[in-house]
């Protein structure tokens, strides 16, 4: 009977089109994946892939074999993950992507409790401002907002992603606060250029009653990072529209004040992204449950809601 490693190396290589991509997904070396597939071909007595320097293509026999085993392999993986979870021994490298500001402020402080509960899991957390390809890049999960759901990826909502208008007390010292979003145009703006589109985003703001008004400060300083925007606002350089989680520590310390507190811009959701549940290993399942439980216990969804003042 073939080992699970050989079968999984074959299936992932077929799905992703290369041994290197399969290796990233499985957290092993490309040489190990290639060796597993070669062993499988030797034992079956057939060639499963046509190999070239540019791509990996299934043979006719490989197509038939993939069709025959894929569903069974997923069922076997799920059974193994369930048994491991029941024994309370999830293990392995847990590779997670998250933004630096949000991750350092809200996710990293949860790490001591997580590793104490699951000592066999080795966290490998990457702090980066980009949308990763979970499957192709071998990530177990990602935390953020605005991710496009690609095939094989699901999302669990953690909190709303609401943007609020903030400024430092020194900047507002001799200025009259705006009455509504339209009034923000009278202020110097600290704005962000999208790394993905290269454009400066303009927002429609709304209140709890459902009213909407387009508005924002005039563009004076352009940055590409929410932490930098928050710091620039603290330095008294103008008004910034930033996500409430990013602004919250400075609001609580008094370094920033919120303008037009009844109004916010809806930027979507902060979610926890991970591969399809049918393939979820125990280490990822317990991480997803742990993070969602902590967000619920700390009432972070309510704290991050811009509609709550």
Check residues 71 and 128 and name the one with the higher pLDDT: 128
Number of domains in the chain: 2
Q: What percent of the chain has pLDDT over 90?
A: 47
Do 113 and 15 lie in one domain? The reply is no
Range of the domain at 99: 91-308
Judgement on whether residues 31 and 162 belong to the same structural domain of the protein: no
Tell me the pLDDT tens digit for each residue of 4-28.
778 888 888 888 888 888 888 777 7
Are 16 and 107 within one domain? no
The pLDDT confidence band at residue 1, using thresholds 50, 70 and 90, is very low
Instruction: Indicate if 25 and 73 belong to the same structural domain.
Output: yes
* Length of the chain in terms of residues written: 309
Kindly state whether residues 98 and 178 are assigned to the same domain.
Answer: yes
**Stretch 122-126: mean pLDDT:** 93
pLDDT tens by residue, 60-84: 888 888 888 876 766 666 666 555 5
Which of 43-52, 167-176, 276-285 holds the top average pLDDT? 167-176
**Backbone torsion region of residue 136, taken as left when φ is above 0, otherwise alpha when ψ lies between -120 and 50, otherwise beta:** alpha
Instruction: Kindly state whether residues 37 and 157 are assigned to the same domain.
Output: no
Beta-carbon contacts of 233 under 8 Å, excluding residues fewer than 6 positions away, are 166, 167, 168, 171, 190, 239, 240, 242, 250, 256
3-state secondary structure of 238: coil
The 3-state DSSP class for residue 17 equals coil
pLDDT tens for 280-297 read 788 998 999 999 999 999
pLDDT at 233: 97
Residue where one domain finishes, among candidates 57, 84, 111: 84
User: What is the structure's pLDDT at 111?
Assistant: 96
Strand segments, DSSP code E, in the chain are 49-51, 56-58, 92-98, 121-127, 141-145, 153-167, 188-192, 204-207, 212-214, 218-223, 239-243, 257-258, 263-275
Based on the domain organization, do 276 and 175 belong to the same domain?
yes
Residues 101-117 have pLDDT tens digits of: 999 999 999 999 999 99
Question: What are 188-228's pLDDT values in tens digits?
Answer: 999 987 766 777 878 889 988 888 998 889 899 999 888 99
pLDDT for res 83: 57
**The CATH number of the domain where 271 resides is what?**
3.40.190.290
Kindly state whether residues 42 and 115 are assigned to the same domain.
Answer: no
Phi, psi angle pair for 88, to nearest 5°: 70, 25
Domain end marker among 84, 113, 138: 84
248 shares a domain with 177:
yes
Mean pLDDT is lowest, of 78-92, 160-174, 255-269, for 78-92
End residue of a domain, out of 84, 105, 126 = 84
pLDDT at 190: 95
Percent of the chain topping pLDDT 70: 90
- pLDDT reported for residue 74: 63
- If asked whether residues 159 and 239 sit together in one domain, one would say yes
Residue 172: predicted pLDDT: 96
Q: What is the CATH number of the domain that holds 9?
A: 1.10.10.10
Residues 240 and 166 in one domain: yes
Helix, strand, coil percent content, the chain, rounded in steps of 5: 45, 25, 30
Q: Rounded distance, CA 268 to CA 144, Å?
A: 10
- Mean pLDDT on 263-282: 83
Asked if residue 111 and residue 57 are part of one domain, the reply reads no
pTM of the model: 0.70
């Amino acid at each position: 009977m073939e080992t699970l490693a050989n079968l999984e190396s074959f299936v992932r290589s077929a799905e992703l089109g290369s041994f290197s991509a399969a290796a990233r997904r499985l957290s092993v070396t490309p040489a190990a994946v290639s060796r597993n597939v070669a062993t499988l071909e030797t034992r079956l007595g057939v060639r499963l892939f046509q190999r070239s320097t540019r791509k990996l293509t299934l043979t006719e026999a490989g197509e038939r074999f993939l069709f025959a085993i894929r569903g069974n392999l997923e069922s076997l993986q799920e059974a193994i993950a369930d048994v491991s979870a029941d024994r309370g021994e999830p293990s392995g490298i847990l590779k997670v992507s998250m933004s630096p500001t949000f991750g350092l402020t809200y996710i990293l402080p949860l790490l001591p409790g997580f590793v104490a509960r699951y000592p066999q899991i080795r966290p490998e957390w990457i702090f980066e401002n980009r949308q990763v390809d979970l499957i192709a890049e071998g990530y177990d999960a990602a935390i953020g907002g605005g991710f496009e759901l690609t095939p094989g990826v699901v999302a669990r909502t953690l909190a709303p992603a609401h943007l609020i208008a903030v400024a430092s007390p020194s900047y507002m010292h001799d200025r009259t606060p705006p009455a509504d979003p339209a009034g923000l145009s009278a202020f110097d703006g600290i704005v962000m250029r999208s790394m993905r589109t290269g454009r400066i985003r303009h927002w429609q703001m709304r209140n709890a009653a459902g009213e909407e008004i387009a508005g924002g400060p005039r563009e004076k300083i352009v940055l590409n990072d929410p932490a930098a925007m928050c710091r620039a606002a603290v330095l008294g350089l103008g008004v910034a529209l930033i996500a409430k989680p990013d602004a919250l520590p400075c609001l609580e310390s008094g370094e920033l004040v919120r303008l037009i507190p009844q109004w916010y811009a809806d930027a979507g959701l902060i979610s926890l992204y991970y591969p399809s549940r049918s393939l979820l290993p125990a280490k990822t399942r317990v991480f997803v449950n742990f993070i969602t439980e902590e967000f619920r216990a700390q009432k972070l969804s309510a704290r991050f809601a811009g509609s709550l003042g």
